[in-house]
Structure 1
């Protein structure tokens, strides 16, 4: 078939690339389940899970500059593809995965079985389970990020994600209005900037928390 000769940005043909991705996902499923079970009910943030998968224990993900979307996106996509796959696998045992950049954790479902799966209208699930989305160009990634920050891509976060985001920004509870969130975010980003002794990872984490709270108040 002609698609067998299609070349992706990696330089591999489409069939070879798909085989590589499939093998990588199988390794990631095992590693991610292990890390989430070790983390217990508190779970892990997306950043912490990425770092665990980069560690000498697994070496499944390479270095990432978290300030560059074109580097972060493929890692983020592959991780969430893995998480959706793993969540499907766990349903038969009465378990599922809470998915949020701020908190990824295992939890028990009310009843085992695939009836607990999101319906076909779950656009995020469909997006992350489509491996072709892994190959977005840098321009497409940049456009997607611009739409996100402009507020055109919004999904109301759940209460747990919102509370975790507020906690990361230093609040004891979710503020009643968005104004104190903006003030706190600006202050924390200034101190977390690499030029002031912080790191790009800290800034990325703050950005994620701010995006969740922005969606909460919108």
Structure 2
């Protein structure tokens, strides 16, 4: 009786190794390997789902942007023209929260302010890093002459989009008017929800007291991402 010849493998070991490597790569990238091919090589491969990681920066969500409230609400007494510019930072409240600041801004005050001191932690401030993204926001901006060394002028804001670009947009408008020689009556009011340490919103008002003035606005910015 003739001996049966020993059946030779379909593929050489080196070809098998290369093919298995290719199949593993396909499964890793979520590509379905046909079951016939899996049976041929004696493997069972399920596609791998690759999940995308979320960005570390905050995304704009609930914040509707600056809300226009019409013209500034200054009284005639508020708008009395004086020869020199000035800034008044109103007292912290009983919880140590910044409340408001008033100013009469002139061209000479541009860029005379200071950056926010890291030694001051406004109420509600935790970190400028994820997931908080807090900033020490000036009520009277540094470029308008506001101090970063007075707790009364610093409030915890979300850096993006509240501090920048929303608040910065209106500060830039005021600065541009000052550069042309206008004098601006300016006020920023902070509002909180009951005893919350993080403010709910800012109200910014500006009105030119110069002849042929260009500014007269009253806007509210919500302090949320």
TM range (shorter): under 0.3
Could you say which structure has the higher helix fraction? 1
More RCO (CA 8 Å, sep 6+): 2
| Structure exhibiting the larger radius of gyration computed from Cα positions | 2
TM-score of the pair, normalised by structure 2: 0.22
The structure in which a higher percent of residues are strand is 2
Q: So what's the TM-score if we normalise by structure 1?
A: 0.23
